[in-house]
Amino acid sequence: MPAKSASIHSIELDLFIEAMTRRHGYDFSNYARASLKRRVAGLAQKLGFASVAELLPRLLYDGDLLPEILAGLSVPVTKMFRDPMVFKAMVETLLPMLATYPRLNIWQAGCATGEEVYSLAILLEEAGLLHKAQIYATDINDAALAKAEEGIFPAKMVEEHADNYLHAGGTRTLASHFSLGYGFAKVSGAIKDHISFAHHNLVSDGVFCEVNLVVCRNVLIYFDRHLQDRVLGLFETSLSRGGFLCLGSKENIAFSAAAPHFTPVNAALRLYKKSGGTS
């Protein structure tokens, strides 16, 4: 009966969440449930199990599938200069203000395979600010982080995103920031030197340093309101007074307890400035 089978899927999801939390320390209980349910079911199928329930013993007794499970649940979809108008607004509005600081600490949370953080670093370099910037790029997906840290992409990616780069306010050529050869494009060492990649779980880890800018786009959409609120509080605590927050186009802070601490710089593009003291 449809009602009964729906509830079995729900029980299976609860058991999966319980196993991940208590056995492996990864708590998915506050992820948006409908999309998590789809992803867990798809993952079980991809790994060759007939159901999520059949995956559970393996998850409980053997940690070998954990990296694959984390990678499968994390949706590391990204691209260079995604939503170029957001980058353009950062170049035109945020960077002139950030330029007045002697040092810049930036946290890019949910960096996936690195395309977004490299886009940001390229624009900082062109604005003459990269030399005083330290960017921390974090994610829970270690496979994606390893790829990001490598900084090697297919050469055609550079061609494909050249227009986005220009629309984002790029003033040179995108290719000038890479060394190209054998069908690959390697991010320049000068840019990589200013980025540290690290494992950080927005669900359970705390603030790791004070920053002037937080960029976290297309990550909160996977979380429920409660977790979004926690993470926005974490960003608010991390930001120094006058620091900036950049979220994804479908994300906003209006509902959260952190909202009173921010004023919109460009509400449509989800750019906010921390206006008050730390809560």
Q: Which residues bind ligand SAM (CB under 6 A)?
A: 74-78, 82, 110, 112, 116, 139-141, 144, 201-203, 217-219, 222, 248
CB of 250 to ligand SAM, least distance (A): 11
As a whole number of angstroms, the distance between CA 119 and CA 140 comes to: 20
Could you give the 3-state DSSP secondary structure of residue 272? Answer: strand
User: Quick one: 29 or 134, whose CB is closer to ligand SAM?
Assistant: 29
H or E stretch including 244?
A: strand 239-247
To the nearest whole angstrom, how small is the minimum distance from the Cβ of residue 257 to ligand SAM?
19
Contacts 24+ apart (CB under 8 A), 157-162: 157/80, 157/115, 157/185, 158/185, 161/79, 161/80, 161/81
* Residue 53 or 152 having the CB closest to ligand SAM: 152
Give the separation between CA 114 and CA 179, rounded to whole angstroms. 17
DSSP 83: S
Give the nearer residue to ligand SAM in terms of CB position, either 36 or 95.
36
In the bound complex, what is the minimum distance in angstroms from residue 57's beta carbon to ligand SAM? Answer: 25
Least distance CB 187 / ligand SAM (angstroms): 16
Q: Toward ligand SAM, which CB reaches closer, 53 or 162? A: 162
